[in-house]
Homo-oligomer: A and B are copies of this chain.
C-alpha cells in the first residue's frame, strides 16, 4: 500500500469547512499556519498523508469545499458624500480556490 502526501493550500475562509469535511470522511489532516503567496488573500495549508487509493477522493473533497466561485457582495457606500440617495449595487467577487500538490512518499511510519 503506497502512501502519498497531499499538500492543499486554500483560502482562510474555506479552511474550517474543509477541516470538518476531512473529519467527516475520516481523512487525517495537519493544518499549517501560512501567509500570502499562492492565493491572493490569507490562506491555510493542509498536509494529508493518505493511501494512494484515496488520493482522488481527497482531491474531490478539497475541490468541493474550496473551489473558485463567484459571490455577490454589496460594497459599503459612504453616504456623507452624496445626498441624492446613492444605491449600492451588489458586485460579483471571486472567492475560494485551492492549489493542490500530490507528492510521492518513500516510507510512512506511525510510532
Contact = CB atoms under 8 A, between A and B. Distances in A.
Interface of A: 3-5, 7, 9, 19, 28-38, 43, 45-47, 49, 55, 59, 62-63, 66-68, 97-111
B103 A105 contact: yes
Given A30-B37, A66-B111, A49 B99 contact: yes
B33 A32 contact: yes
Nearest to A66: B111
Contact of A110 (B37, B47, B98, B108): B98
Given A99-B49, A111-B62, A111-B67, A38 B43 contact: no
Contacts of A67: 111
A47 B8 CA distance: 12
A60 to B, nearest CB: 10
A106 B108 contact: no
B34 A30 contact: yes
A45 to B, nearest CB: 6
A30 B38 contact: yes
B104 A103 contact: yes
